[in-house]
Structure 1
Amino acid sequence: MLGRRSEVLRLGGDRLRLRPWAGEAGTGLLIQLTPGSAVSDDATAAAVESAISRGYHRLRTSALSHIESEPFLRAGFKPCRQLALLTRPIQNRLPGITGNIAIRKARRRDHPAVLAIDRDAFEPFWQFDRHGLHDALRATHFRRFRVACKDNDTGLAGYAICGRSGPVGYLQRLAISPNQQGQGAGAFLVIDGLKWMARWGVAQAWVNTPQNNTGALRLYERLGFEQVPPGLQVLEAVLAP
């Protein structure tokens, strides 16, 4: 029976979330919930067996560092997408920006519009569905979910999800409607998130984006982020029943 919901796999001291990949029947997404270090080879093998037992025929990982990738590569996974990883110290001064962009707290009734923006802003491989949005909103204990709109405009221009854990902050998702890109919404949302992190004592902010997303890279670098080689990668395996 094909798994159709998100579930947490507890494998020894490692925790991974297994859920369907958005828009691809039979493909599962494996999210490492203990970031920063590699899971065990036994946990990797058990996760693959769980995916097979749930009817998945293809399995992809979330974005992993090269250290986190090692057990999956040993298990036969192959790189399928590369991401740039960027960081900036919070105490560095933010550039000034101007514009008629309003930022407000996202509400539950905004979720359909947020997901529509996400579909328009990203190629199918990266798009969120409701499970992806739900996972992003609970990826850290503390989060900030904001939407942007132009003054006197009831439609949304974009949204951002930021999170924090101790002294580390994350820009977990930023999506701007294509017809609003280049008009300041992205910069307003990023700066809003960085100011929130600063108020809570975060020292360093991190963000990743596909290496071919030149618009996002220009935005982040303009706002003081610097790339950290070699970046991150998404891995993929075809599962044999």
Structure 2
Amino acid sequence: MTNEAESSATTQAVSPAASLAVPSVDEPVMLRGSGGAARVRPWPFQPTVAHLVILHQQQRLPSLADLGRWGEQLRSLGFTSVRTGALAVAAGLRVETAGYTPVQELALLAHDHPGAGAAAASQVSSARTSRLTERHLEVASAIDCAAFGSGWQLDGASVADVCRATPRHRGRLAHFDAPGDTVGDTPGGTTGPAGYAITGRDARQGFLQRLAVRPEVQGHGVGRLLVHDCLQWLARWRVQRVLVNTATDNAAALALYERAGFHRLGERLRVYERSLA
């Protein structure tokens, strides 16, 4: 996810003295401190790992005291470790000082002319796209699990979180025939969705939040189709810049984005983790 903003999802606040069961994935927990706030839910498919999303739309970063107190609260909830979302340099240095270690590095890319990128694309795939709705969340999760390695996959609730991460979003499913609710086969005997993408926007800033393509249909233009759809939608809203991130060792994704007109920025993002044992 490129951007994490406070969502309208139902949340429960946690005070320093709280002692609750591990929260369900449908009820994110809000942690508040003197220097900032964060949202927590279990990491997808790893219920004892807390996913800590430091909310970006705030004046200050959490203090070291906040991070220490939050760790104690999460331990009391039954979590055994905590993993952050993708953090920029300043937030990364703060959590490192609090005892977190980096577990993933992400390249950050930008597209400064989404209108030109959308106009330049021609027919890139025999696939087509349709709207990704709430009933398709588990379909998107199944595609995500096939596309990404263990530990970095999204469940249905996390796909919904990505949709809520920006004030406006567009979710699309790519498929080679009529859209369905099950993941199908490869081109030549295809049924159902082959990939999905979630695009977000906040005023004139755009984000390609998540893109996943089933491995067996990669190379058939599905990723290019979804990137083109992203740029086309953002161009219609006169977005001036689009950001996307991907793991630094994901050569296929980096090549896909660079062919679409994205360029790498000097800044990199990192995901951090800390044991609560």
Per the TM superposition, whether the score is higher than 0.5 is: yes
Mapped partners of 2:98, 2:167: distance in 1: 31
Alpha-carbon distance, 1:41 to partner: 2.5
Contact 2:44-2:154 at 8 Å conserved across structures: yes
Mapped partners of 1:90, 1:83: distance in 2: 22
Q: CA RMSD in A?
A: 1.8
Mapped partners of 1:156, 1:236: distance in 2: 33
Question: How does the TM-score come out when normalised to structure 1?
Answer: 0.93
5 Å matches for 1:1-241?
1-5=21-25, 6-12=28-34, 14-34=36-56, 38-91=61-114, 93-94=116-117, 95-98=120-123, 99-151=125-177, 153-240=190-277
Alpha-carbon distance, 1:75 to partner: 0.6
* Percent of matched pairs sharing the same residue: 36
Amino acid at match of 1:141: P
3-state SS of the aligned residue for 1:196?
helix
Contact 1:14-1:34 at 8 Å conserved across structures: no
Alpha-carbon distance, 1:202 to partner: 1.1
Alpha-carbon distance, 1:224 to partner: 0.7
Amino acid at match of 1:213: N
Alpha-carbon distance, 1:112 to partner: 2.1
Question: How does the TM-score come out when normalised to structure 2?
Answer: 0.81
Alpha-carbon distance, 1:60 to partner: 0.5
Q: Report the number of matched residues.
A: 240
Contact 2:81-2:276 at 8 Å conserved across structures: yes
Alpha-carbon distance, 1:10 to partner: 2.7
Mapped partners of 1:236, 1:108: distance in 2: 30
Alpha-carbon distance, 1:132 to partner: 1.3
Look up the match of 2:184: none
Mapped partners of 1:40, 1:34: distance in 2: 14
Mapped partners of 1:4, 1:160: distance in 2: 25
Contact 2:114-2:240 at 8 Å conserved across structures: yes
After superposition, give the CA deviation of every residue in 1:122-149 in whole Å (9 maximum; x if it has no partner).
0012100123112111101100011111
Contact 1:84-1:232 at 8 Å conserved across structures: yes
What residue ranges of structure 2 are gaps of 5+ in the alignment?
Answer: 1-20, 179-189
Mapped partners of 2:174, 2:30: distance in 1: 32
Alpha-carbon distance, 1:27 to partner: 1.0
3-state SS of the aligned residue for 1:157?
strand
What residue ranges of structure 1 are gaps of 5+ in the alignment?
Answer: none
Amino acid at match of 1:127: Q
Look up the match of 2:8: none
Moved more, 79-88 or 91-100: 91-100
Alpha-carbon distance, 1:151 to partner: 4.1
Alpha-carbon distance, 1:35 to partner: 5.3
3-state SS of the aligned residue for 1:128?
coil
Deviating above 6 A after TM superposition, structure 1's stretches of 4 or more consecutive aligned residues are: none
Mapped partners of 1:213, 1:57: distance in 2: 29
